[in-house]
Amino acid sequence: MEQEKILSIENLVIKFKLRGQTLTAIRDISLDLYKGESLAIVGESGSGKSVLVKSIMGLLDKNGYIDSGQIIFDGHDLSKFKTEADWLKVRGKKIAMVTQDPMTSLNPLKTIGKQIEESVILHQGLKGKDAYEKTLQLLRDVGIHEVERRYGQYPHEFSGGMRQRIVIAIAVACNPQILICDEPTTALDVTIQAQILQLLTNLQEKYLLTTIYITHDLGVVAKVADRIAVMYAGDIIEVGQTNEVFFNAKHPYTWALISSLPQLGIKGQELYSIKGTPPNLFKEIKGDAFAPRNQYALKIDFVERPPFFKVSDTHYARTWLLDPKAPQVSPPEVLLAFFKGEGQ
Protein backbone atom coordinates (compact mmCIF):
# COMPACT_ATOMS: atom_id res chain seq x y z
CA MET A 1 0.00 0.00 0.00
CA GLU A 2 1.69 3.16 -1.20
CA GLN A 3 0.82 6.10 0.95
CA GLU A 4 1.21 9.80 0.47
CA LYS A 5 3.69 11.52 2.75
CA ILE A 6 2.13 14.51 4.46
CA LEU A 7 4.99 15.52 6.72
CA SER A 8 8.59 14.58 6.46
CA ILE A 9 11.24 15.18 9.11
CA GLU A 10 14.80 14.79 7.89
CA ASN A 11 17.92 14.63 10.06
CA LEU A 12 16.44 17.01 12.59
CA VAL A 13 18.67 18.24 15.39
CA ILE A 14 17.20 20.46 18.08
CA LYS A 15 19.28 22.11 20.76
CA PHE A 16 18.53 24.16 23.82
CA LYS A 17 20.71 26.77 25.44
CA LEU A 18 20.48 26.49 29.17
CA ARG A 19 22.60 28.52 31.58
CA GLY A 20 25.48 28.74 29.14
CA GLN A 21 25.36 25.06 28.30
CA THR A 22 23.93 23.47 25.22
CA LEU A 23 21.59 20.54 25.46
CA THR A 24 20.81 18.37 22.48
CA ALA A 25 17.16 17.39 22.82
CA ILE A 26 16.62 15.84 19.41
CA ARG A 27 19.53 13.97 17.86
CA ASP A 28 19.32 13.50 14.14
CA ILE A 29 15.79 12.23 13.73
CA SER A 30 14.15 11.29 10.47
CA LEU A 31 10.50 10.40 10.37
CA ASP A 32 7.75 10.38 7.78
CA LEU A 33 4.09 10.88 8.47
CA TYR A 34 1.61 9.44 5.99
CA LYS A 35 -1.72 10.91 5.14
CA GLY A 36 -4.62 9.56 7.18
CA GLU A 37 -2.57 7.43 9.53
CA SER A 38 -2.24 7.76 13.24
CA LEU A 39 1.27 7.64 14.53
CA ALA A 40 2.16 7.22 18.17
CA ILE A 41 5.39 8.56 19.53
CA VAL A 42 6.25 6.77 22.77
CA GLY A 43 9.08 7.14 25.19
CA GLU A 44 9.77 8.03 28.78
CA SER A 45 9.70 11.57 30.14
CA GLY A 46 12.50 13.65 28.75
CA SER A 47 12.98 11.53 25.66
CA GLY A 48 12.12 14.47 23.44
CA LYS A 49 8.64 13.54 22.23
CA SER A 50 7.11 16.87 23.16
CA VAL A 51 10.04 18.87 21.82
CA LEU A 52 9.69 17.08 18.51
CA VAL A 53 6.05 18.00 18.00
CA LYS A 54 6.54 21.49 19.37
CA SER A 55 9.14 22.07 16.70
CA ILE A 56 6.56 21.08 14.08
CA MET A 57 4.30 23.85 15.34
CA GLY A 58 6.98 26.42 16.01
CA LEU A 59 6.20 26.38 19.71
CA LEU A 60 9.66 25.58 21.04
CA ASP A 61 10.61 27.53 24.12
CA LYS A 62 12.64 30.64 23.39
CA ASN A 63 15.97 29.02 24.25
CA GLY A 64 15.40 26.11 21.88
CA TYR A 65 16.32 26.14 18.23
CA ILE A 66 16.59 23.85 15.23
CA ASP A 67 20.29 23.28 14.72
CA SER A 68 20.11 21.38 11.44
CA GLY A 69 17.79 19.21 9.39
CA GLN A 70 14.45 20.03 7.88
CA ILE A 71 10.74 19.57 8.42
CA ILE A 72 8.98 19.41 5.08
CA PHE A 73 5.27 20.10 5.16
CA ASP A 74 3.00 21.34 2.44
CA GLY A 75 5.91 22.33 0.21
CA HIS A 76 7.61 24.40 2.90
CA ASP A 77 10.56 23.71 5.14
CA LEU A 78 9.20 24.55 8.56
CA SER A 79 12.66 24.56 10.11
CA LYS A 80 13.38 27.75 8.18
CA PHE A 81 10.36 29.57 9.54
CA LYS A 82 11.39 32.46 11.71
CA THR A 83 8.62 35.03 12.02
CA GLU A 84 5.25 34.72 13.64
CA ALA A 85 3.60 35.52 10.32
CA ASP A 86 5.25 32.46 8.76
CA TRP A 87 4.10 30.17 11.51
CA LEU A 88 0.57 31.49 11.57
CA LYS A 89 0.09 30.08 8.08
CA VAL A 90 0.58 26.62 9.51
CA ARG A 91 -0.04 26.75 13.22
CA GLY A 92 -3.67 26.05 13.97
CA LYS A 93 -4.61 26.34 10.31
CA LYS A 94 -3.02 23.13 9.11
CA ILE A 95 -1.54 21.58 12.20
CA ALA A 96 -3.53 21.74 15.41
CA MET A 97 -2.85 20.42 18.85
CA VAL A 98 -4.76 18.85 21.70
CA THR A 99 -2.90 19.74 24.84
CA GLN A 100 -2.12 17.66 27.82
CA ASP A 101 -4.02 18.97 30.78
CA PRO A 102 -7.62 19.95 30.10
CA MET A 103 -7.99 21.40 33.59
CA THR A 104 -5.61 24.25 32.82
CA SER A 105 -5.70 24.47 29.04
CA LEU A 106 -8.79 26.62 28.76
CA ASN A 107 -8.98 30.31 29.53
CA PRO A 108 -10.98 30.39 32.77
CA LEU A 109 -12.59 33.74 31.98
CA LYS A 110 -13.98 33.09 28.54
CA THR A 111 -17.02 30.97 27.79
CA ILE A 112 -16.08 27.74 26.08
CA GLY A 113 -18.24 28.77 23.16
CA LYS A 114 -16.16 31.88 22.58
CA GLN A 115 -12.97 29.90 22.85
CA ILE A 116 -14.05 27.45 20.18
CA GLU A 117 -15.46 30.23 18.05
CA GLU A 118 -12.10 32.00 18.15
CA SER A 119 -10.69 29.04 16.22
CA VAL A 120 -13.65 28.90 13.87
CA ILE A 121 -13.38 32.59 13.01
CA LEU A 122 -9.62 32.46 12.61
CA HIS A 123 -9.43 29.40 10.42
CA GLN A 124 -12.74 28.79 8.71
CA GLY A 125 -13.48 32.31 7.61
CA LEU A 126 -16.92 32.29 9.23
CA LYS A 127 -18.48 35.19 11.05
CA GLY A 128 -21.41 36.00 13.32
CA LYS A 129 -24.27 33.58 13.08
CA ASP A 130 -22.41 31.14 10.83
CA ALA A 131 -19.52 30.92 13.24
CA TYR A 132 -21.97 30.38 16.09
CA GLU A 133 -23.78 27.59 14.25
CA LYS A 134 -20.47 25.96 13.37
CA THR A 135 -19.40 26.13 17.00
CA LEU A 136 -22.59 24.42 18.11
CA GLN A 137 -22.00 21.78 15.45
CA LEU A 138 -18.49 21.16 16.78
CA LEU A 139 -19.78 20.89 20.33
CA ARG A 140 -22.22 18.23 19.15
CA ASP A 141 -19.42 16.48 17.28
CA VAL A 142 -17.36 16.10 20.42
CA GLY A 143 -20.31 14.64 22.27
CA ILE A 144 -21.58 17.53 24.33
CA HIS A 145 -25.30 17.78 24.98
CA GLU A 146 -27.54 20.83 25.32
CA VAL A 147 -25.06 22.74 23.22
CA GLU A 148 -26.90 26.08 23.29
CA ARG A 149 -26.74 26.19 27.07
CA ARG A 150 -23.21 24.81 27.25
CA TYR A 151 -21.99 27.40 24.73
CA GLY A 152 -22.33 30.16 27.32
CA GLN A 153 -20.71 28.32 30.19
CA TYR A 154 -17.24 28.75 31.59
CA PRO A 155 -14.57 26.04 31.83
CA HIS A 156 -15.03 25.60 35.57
CA GLU A 157 -18.55 24.40 34.94
CA PHE A 158 -17.27 21.33 33.10
CA SER A 159 -15.67 18.11 34.30
CA GLY A 160 -12.17 17.09 33.21
CA GLY A 161 -13.40 14.76 30.48
CA MET A 162 -15.81 17.40 29.16
CA ARG A 163 -13.05 19.98 29.09
CA GLN A 164 -10.83 17.64 27.11
CA ARG A 165 -13.70 17.30 24.63
CA ILE A 166 -13.75 21.08 24.35
CA VAL A 167 -10.00 21.26 23.85
CA ILE A 168 -10.48 18.70 21.09
CA ALA A 169 -13.28 20.77 19.60
CA ILE A 170 -10.97 23.79 19.55
CA ALA A 171 -8.33 21.81 17.72
CA VAL A 172 -10.80 20.37 15.22
CA ALA A 173 -12.33 23.81 14.69
CA CYS A 174 -9.09 24.84 13.05
CA ASN A 175 -9.89 22.36 10.31
CA PRO A 176 -6.36 20.98 10.37
CA GLN A 177 -4.70 18.35 8.25
CA ILE A 178 -2.59 17.11 11.11
CA LEU A 179 -3.84 16.80 14.67
CA ILE A 180 -1.21 16.43 17.37
CA CYS A 181 -2.45 14.93 20.60
CA ASP A 182 0.05 15.58 23.38
CA GLU A 183 -0.76 12.99 26.04
CA PRO A 184 -4.47 13.55 25.53
CA THR A 185 -5.57 11.20 28.29
CA THR A 186 -2.82 11.44 30.89
CA ALA A 187 -4.76 13.77 33.13
CA LEU A 188 -8.04 11.89 32.89
CA ASP A 189 -9.77 9.10 34.78
CA VAL A 190 -9.29 5.67 33.30
CA THR A 191 -13.00 5.43 32.58
CA ILE A 192 -12.95 8.67 30.62
CA GLN A 193 -9.75 7.82 28.76
CA ALA A 194 -11.40 5.20 26.57
CA GLN A 195 -14.22 7.62 25.65
CA ILE A 196 -11.80 10.35 24.65
CA LEU A 197 -9.73 7.96 22.56
CA GLN A 198 -12.88 6.70 20.86
CA LEU A 199 -13.90 10.29 20.18
CA LEU A 200 -10.51 11.09 18.66
CA THR A 201 -10.71 8.02 16.45
CA ASN A 202 -14.20 8.99 15.26
CA LEU A 203 -13.15 12.55 14.53
CA GLN A 204 -10.15 11.30 12.65
CA GLU A 205 -12.45 9.42 10.31
CA LYS A 206 -15.01 12.18 10.04
CA TYR A 207 -12.58 14.99 9.32
CA LEU A 208 -9.95 12.90 7.50
CA LEU A 209 -7.25 13.85 9.99
CA THR A 210 -3.74 12.58 10.26
CA THR A 211 -2.94 12.25 13.94
CA ILE A 212 0.19 12.12 16.02
CA TYR A 213 -0.19 10.83 19.56
CA ILE A 214 2.47 11.55 22.09
CA THR A 215 2.22 9.30 25.06
CA HIS A 216 4.06 7.10 27.48
CA ASP A 217 0.99 4.97 27.96
CA LEU A 218 1.35 1.86 25.83
CA GLY A 219 -2.30 1.05 26.47
CA VAL A 220 -3.30 4.18 24.57
CA VAL A 221 -0.94 3.28 21.78
CA ALA A 222 -2.42 -0.16 21.33
CA LYS A 223 -5.92 1.31 21.06
CA VAL A 224 -5.36 4.10 18.59
CA ALA A 225 -2.10 3.89 16.70
CA ASP A 226 -1.43 2.49 13.23
CA ARG A 227 2.27 3.04 13.62
CA ILE A 228 4.62 3.51 16.55
CA ALA A 229 7.88 5.40 16.86
CA VAL A 230 9.81 4.66 20.03
CA MET A 231 12.01 7.47 21.27
CA TYR A 232 14.90 7.32 23.68
CA ALA A 233 17.17 10.22 24.63
CA GLY A 234 16.20 12.34 21.66
CA ASP A 235 16.46 9.63 19.05
CA ILE A 236 13.96 7.31 17.40
CA ILE A 237 15.23 3.84 18.10
CA GLU A 238 12.46 1.73 16.63
CA VAL A 239 9.63 2.46 14.28
CA GLY A 240 7.04 0.20 12.73
CA GLN A 241 3.41 -0.85 12.49
CA THR A 242 1.79 -1.18 15.88
CA ASN A 243 1.67 -4.97 15.67
CA GLU A 244 5.27 -5.19 14.64
CA VAL A 245 6.57 -3.03 17.41
CA PHE A 246 4.40 -4.67 20.03
CA PHE A 247 4.82 -8.28 19.09
CA ASN A 248 8.08 -8.38 17.21
CA ALA A 249 10.10 -5.70 18.96
CA LYS A 250 13.77 -5.71 18.11
CA HIS A 251 15.38 -2.99 20.18
CA PRO A 252 16.28 -3.88 23.77
CA TYR A 253 14.78 -0.59 24.92
CA THR A 254 11.46 -1.47 23.34
CA TRP A 255 11.67 -4.84 25.07
CA ALA A 256 12.27 -3.14 28.36
CA LEU A 257 9.41 -0.74 27.75
CA ILE A 258 6.95 -3.52 27.00
CA SER A 259 8.26 -5.62 29.89
CA SER A 260 7.41 -2.85 32.27
CA LEU A 261 3.71 -3.06 31.35
CA PRO A 262 1.96 -3.95 34.59
CA GLN A 263 -0.17 -6.47 32.69
CA LEU A 264 2.94 -8.59 32.11
CA GLY A 265 3.89 -8.66 35.74
CA ILE A 266 3.52 -11.90 37.61
CA LYS A 267 1.58 -11.82 40.82
CA GLY A 268 3.81 -11.70 43.86
CA GLN A 269 6.82 -10.52 41.88
CA GLU A 270 8.08 -7.03 41.63
CA LEU A 271 7.12 -5.19 38.46
CA TYR A 272 9.85 -4.85 35.90
CA SER A 273 11.56 -1.50 35.72
CA ILE A 274 14.50 -0.32 33.66
CA LYS A 275 17.61 0.10 35.79
CA GLY A 276 19.64 3.27 35.67
CA THR A 277 18.70 6.67 34.31
CA PRO A 278 18.59 8.17 30.83
CA PRO A 279 21.83 9.79 29.67
CA ASN A 280 22.73 13.38 30.35
CA LEU A 281 21.78 15.28 27.22
CA PHE A 282 24.28 18.04 27.91
CA LYS A 283 27.04 15.60 27.00
CA GLU A 284 27.63 14.24 23.57
CA ILE A 285 26.26 10.75 23.28
CA LYS A 286 28.48 8.14 21.71
CA GLY A 287 27.11 4.98 20.19
CA ASP A 288 23.70 3.73 21.31
CA ALA A 289 22.30 6.00 24.01
CA PHE A 290 20.65 3.04 25.73
CA ALA A 291 23.84 0.96 25.89
CA PRO A 292 24.80 1.78 29.52
CA ARG A 293 21.44 0.47 30.75
CA ASN A 294 21.28 -2.37 28.29
CA GLN A 295 22.10 -5.87 29.51
CA TYR A 296 22.41 -7.02 25.90
CA ALA A 297 24.80 -4.23 24.90
CA LEU A 298 27.62 -5.17 22.57
CA LYS A 299 31.01 -3.51 22.50
CA ILE A 300 30.19 -1.59 19.36
CA ASP A 301 27.12 -0.12 21.08
CA PHE A 302 29.43 2.11 23.09
CA VAL A 303 31.39 3.24 20.07
CA GLU A 304 29.19 3.79 17.09
CA ARG A 305 25.58 4.77 16.69
CA PRO A 306 23.70 1.87 15.13
CA PRO A 307 22.00 2.53 11.78
CA PHE A 308 18.39 1.62 11.12
CA PHE A 309 18.25 -2.09 10.33
CA LYS A 310 15.30 -3.11 8.24
CA VAL A 311 13.08 -5.72 9.81
CA SER A 312 10.27 -5.42 7.30
CA ASP A 313 9.15 -2.80 4.79
CA THR A 314 7.55 -0.83 7.55
CA HIS A 315 9.60 -1.87 10.55
CA TYR A 316 13.06 -0.53 11.37
CA ALA A 317 15.16 -0.64 14.52
CA ARG A 318 18.38 1.05 15.55
CA THR A 319 20.27 -1.71 17.29
CA TRP A 320 23.46 -3.53 16.49
CA LEU A 321 21.76 -6.74 17.57
CA LEU A 322 20.23 -6.89 14.10
CA ASP A 323 23.62 -6.80 12.43
CA PRO A 324 24.37 -10.13 10.73
CA LYS A 325 27.60 -10.35 12.72
CA ALA A 326 25.88 -9.86 16.07
CA PRO A 327 25.31 -12.80 18.40
CA GLN A 328 21.81 -14.19 18.47
CA VAL A 329 19.96 -12.71 21.42
CA SER A 330 16.39 -13.48 22.26
CA PRO A 331 14.13 -11.14 24.17
CA PRO A 332 13.29 -11.80 27.84
CA GLU A 333 11.07 -14.78 28.64
CA VAL A 334 8.09 -12.70 29.65
CA LEU A 335 8.12 -11.00 26.30
CA LEU A 336 8.41 -14.19 24.31
CA ALA A 337 5.28 -15.44 26.00
CA PHE A 338 3.62 -12.10 25.26
CA PHE A 339 4.70 -12.17 21.61
CA LYS A 340 3.37 -15.70 21.18
CA GLY A 341 0.25 -15.36 23.20
CA GLU A 342 -1.17 -12.27 21.63
CA GLY A 343 0.87 -11.92 18.48
CA GLN A 344 -1.39 -14.08 16.40
Partner 1 sequence: MIKYIAKRLGQSILTLFIIVTIVFSLLRLMPDEGYLGAAAEKMSLEQQEVYLTNLGLRDPLLIQLKNFYIGLFQGDLGKSVTYRTDVPVLDIIQDKMMYSIVFGLGAVALSLLVGVPLGIFMAQFKGRWLDRLGTGYIVFVVAVPAMVYFLMIQMYISDWFNLPMLFDEYNPKSFILPLFCLALGPIASYAMWMRRYMVDELNKDYIKLARAKGVTERTIMFSHVMRNAFIPMAQYLPATILFTITGSIYIESLFSIPGMGGLLVDAIQRQDNNVVQGLVLVFSSLGIIGLILGDILMAIVDPRIKLGKGDSVR
CA 281 to CA 24: how far, in whole Å? 6
Contacting residue, 29, 96, 249, 298, with partner 1 by CB under 8 A: 96
* Least distance CB 103 / partner 1 (angstroms): 8
Please tell me whether residue 74 binds partner 1 under the rule CB under 8 A: no
Q: In the complex with partner 1, which residue's Cβ is closer, 87 or 247?
A: 87
Contacting residue, 99, 185, 211, 294, with partner 1 by CB under 8 A: 99
**Closest among 156, 163, 211, 220 to 186, alpha carbons compared:** 220
Contacting residue, 25, 106, 209, 236, with partner 1 by CB under 8 A: 106
> Count residues contacting partner 1 (CB under 8 A)?
32
Please tell me whether residue 245 binds partner 1 under the rule CB under 8 A: no
* Least distance CB 4 / partner 1 (angstroms): 24
- Do residues 165 and 116 make contact, with C-beta atoms less than 8 angstroms apart? no
Q: In the complex with partner 1, which residue's Cβ is closer, 175 or 259?
A: 175
Please tell me whether residue 107 binds partner 1 under the rule CB under 8 A: yes
DSSP 16-28: EEETTEEEEEEEE
Please tell me whether residue 76 binds partner 1 under the rule CB under 8 A: no
Residues 6+ apart with CB under 8 A from 273: 260
CA 180 to CA 178: how far, in whole Å? 6
* Least distance CB 229 / partner 1 (angstroms): 21
CA 166 to CA 160: how far, in whole Å? 10
Of 213-242, binders to partner 1 (CB under 8 A) are none
**Closest among 112, 205, 198 to 159, alpha carbons compared:** 112
CA 131 to CA 108: how far, in whole Å? 21
Q: In the complex with partner 1, which residue's Cβ is closer, 84 or 270?
A: 84
SS3 235: strand
DSSP state of 271: P
Of 174-193, binders to partner 1 (CB under 8 A) are 174
Helix H, strand E, coil C: the string for 307-333 is CCEECCCCCEECCHHHCCCCCCCCCCH
Please tell me whether residue 204 binds partner 1 under the rule CB under 8 A: no
* Least distance CB 124 / partner 1 (angstroms): 12
Please tell me whether residue 55 binds partner 1 under the rule CB under 8 A: no
DSSP state of 63: T
Q: In the complex with partner 1, which residue's Cβ is closer, 88 or 271?
A: 88
Of 134-173, binders to partner 1 (CB under 8 A) are 153-154, 156-157, 167, 170-171, 173
Of 5-24, binders to partner 1 (CB under 8 A) are none
Q: Which amino acid is at 247?
A: F
Please tell me whether residue 199 binds partner 1 under the rule CB under 8 A: no
Please tell me whether residue 92 binds partner 1 under the rule CB under 8 A: yes
Residues 6+ apart with CB under 8 A from 154: 108, 109, 110, 111, 112
Which residues here bind partner 1, judged by CB under 8 A?
A: 57, 59, 84, 88, 91-93, 96-97, 99-101, 104-110, 118-119, 122-123, 153-154, 156-157, 167, 170-171, 173-174
